[in-house]
Structure 1
């Protein structure tokens, strides 16, 4: 009697839970970046993105009108108005006139500031300040207050980033760098992987060992020697140093070891019978490669394309070394880095810039994701 074996319910349930956990680990930070990129600057500073849909509380500082705005009423000099000059809807809970005690007085109460000067600040921002003597000075009284504001979302952050000078040009520069730097190593690695998997020639095993060894070479260690080599060759052939050709070759060199290793593992696992049948029919190695190996290897090619595209698109170091930071060649990551540097630590710019940079990689990933898992399992399972 045949016995049907399979995974238990607990095993399947555990796998599903693990998948959900990993999905959450990757999705939640991305969601946080998206939400933060749409929030108001002051609310980003005051609370985390998970509080985006609740009122945020924060302590702020404002300044009352100067002495020139005072009026005389009933023998006293009065300054009145609303501390929210922008008209924003906020609710004040407490206020003070010293930074050490910003919430010393509850909203709506009258604070005695000494020498007969009083200040009343209401919950809606309305204030009345009175004094028995005329106010003096060109700067008004500084006031601190704790306020709560309803959730506020805006697209101004995206306008600031996307409409900044040079962003469109840097976006096209990134595409100009990334697309060839993804296609070139795939073309070279596919030929090399087929040769190392199915062709016999002297030194093949040693070449495979060298490729595996190159996988652990740090980019930072080889970057400057590679730049000197390229500049030396460029001087000999009369090629300028800061060109797209240099960065294409650099990314090709850094990506080839992993590409050859990944593609060879997959191609070596293809059924031998197909290759032998094609050879019996008189097909050459090139015909076998083009008509049989490449169509069957599309999943692993797509997987490597995702990895290489993500690496090159998000790269900053190689682009600055081989391409420079000139306005007509600067890539998107370098441009956004310069934008952040010129604006200090503006959180709304940081989160918006981060989300802008991941839009294109997300499109590429979801376009090729159905081949991703099959490519990651390259060569791990062989038919009997």
Structure 2
């Protein structure tokens, strides 16, 4: 009686737990990027995103710029480090505590806060945990002396990263260029692959098996191997680095997967419908347009989502097949070249750029998901 149809499996809990674990594994990095996109660069470098609500210890440098007073032949500067012009903005959110201080950038936390440090040559520096300091010098300084300190900095969340990304020069042009590349590079391979998939699925001709094997073989070829030869071909035929060139490149790289997916889906369509249409005198083109294409909409929508996401987020192909001029850059190239620089170490900008760039793909995904579900329901009754 354990195999009665309709009886709920005893392993349902395991399936539910597995789904929850997979969702969390995908969600945690996304939450980390979101939190990091609102954090200051220095705080990102000092602590992980899960520590964002708490204070972090950062090292600062400032100058003892308060008025100099004399006392028994010594020159004394007194004040509060947190109030100096160089660091006041970093501590405007609340009170902080100094843990250590120093007079050199090599060892900014050489002395513990609250103690008196003998800096040599008659110079004595004292820094209290609340930021009050006393700098004693044997002679009048020519310029304010430098003070380094390590302090607990209150958590800071800001929109500066988003302002930097959204207001960058020619970012609007880069957005238009990205749409110009992505939309044709998604539509063209779908059109070509749909015709090819129908031919490989429902038309008998010599060499069909070899073509299917070739398509499967092209799936494992790394696109990096084809970049330089393909660029040389484009230059030889006169299209070079242009929008037409990158459309054809994305089409070529996406066609093997598109043909493979669509062909496998079309093969599974009911043969009775196809044969009945042929008996009624329908041509192959009429079969394709009126029967096969509507029933294949779930597969078309699925590949459209994947191709759009891959093309929208592409950096390598855009760097190779588009001119390096600023007016031809897409968003990924614009962010990588102009905002991140050659090292790409600004994690706040990187996280912000990630969320800015996924806005349109998310809209496309949810829009196509609606049509995908509708297509699945329409093709479920055969």
- 1:136 corresponds to: 141
Instruction: Please say if residues 234 and 240 of structure 2, whose CA atoms lie closer than 8 Å, have aligned partners that are also in contact.
Output: yes
- SS of equivalent residue, structure 2 residue 4: coil
| Range that drifts further, 96-105 or 161-170 | 96-105
Task: Find the counterpart in structure 2 of residue 33 from structure 1.
Answer: 33
Q: Tell whether the 8 Å contact from 1:76 to 1:130 is kept in structure 2 after alignment.
A: yes
TM superposition shift of 1:40:
1.2
Paired residue for 2:103? Answer: 97
Which residue of structure 1 lines up, in the alignment, with residue 79 of structure 2? 81
Match of 1:237 in 2: none
SS in 2 for 1:21: helix
TM-score normalised by L of structure 1: 0.87
The aligned residue for residue 291 of structure 1 is 290
Are residues 1:213 and 2:217 paired? yes
For residues 344 and 201 of structure 2, the distance between their equivalents in structure 1, rounded to whole angstroms, comes to: 52
**Counterpart in the other structure of 2:234:** 230
Q: Is the 8 A contact 2:60 2:150 kept in 1?
A: yes
Q: Which residue does 1:302 correspond to in 2? A: 301
* Counterpart residue number, 1:3: 4
The yes-or-no answer on 1:56 pairing with 2:56 is yes
Q: What pairs with 1:90-239 in structure 2 (closer than 5 Å)? A: 90-98=96-104, 102-114=108-120, 116-131=122-137, 133-138=138-143, 140-234=144-238
On the 8 A contact 2:295/2:375 being kept in 1, the answer is no
Rounded Cα–Cα distance in structure 1 between residues aligned with 2:281 and 2:373: 34
Separation of aligned partners in 2, 1:60 and 1:233: 58
C-alpha distance in 2 between matches for 1:356 and 1:285: 44
- 1:148 is paired with a residue of what secondary structure? strand
Q: Assess if the C-alpha contact under 8 Å between 1:215 and 1:257 holds in 2.
A: yes
Return closer, same or farther for 1:18/1:3 CA change in 2, 3 Å cut-off: closer
1:239-258 map, 5 Å: 240-258=239-257
Counterpart for residue 19 of structure 2: 19
In the superposition, relative to structure 1, how do residues 319 and 98 fare at CA in structure 2: closer, same or farther (>3 Å)?
Answer: closer
Mapped contact 1:336–1:353 kept (Cα < 8 A):
yes
Equivalent residue of 1:29, what SS?
Answer: helix
Residue 254 (structure 1) shift: 0.9
In structure 1, the partner of 2:351 is 351
* Separation in structure 1 between the aligned mates of residue 106 and residue 183 of structure 2, nearest angstrom: 56
Look up the SS of the partner of 2:155 in the other structure: coil
Unaligned runs of at least 5 residues, structure 1: 235-239
Which segment drifts farther, 169-178 or 54-63?
54-63
Q: Deviations along 1:275-313, whole A, 9 cap, x unmatched?
A: 122223332222221122222111111111111112211
User: Where does residue 323 of structure 1 map in the other structure?
Assistant: 322
Residue-pair matches, total: 370
2:272 counterpart residue number? 273
Alpha-carbon RMSD across the aligned residues, in angstroms, is 2.8
Rate the CA distance shift 1:230–1:98 in 2: closer, same or farther, 3 A: closer
Kept after mapping to 2: 8 A contact 1:271/1:383? no
Q: Distance in 1 between matches of 2:27 and 2:9?
A: 29
- Contact 1:303 1:375 (8 Å CA) reproduced: no
Conserved 8 A contact 1:301-1:375? no
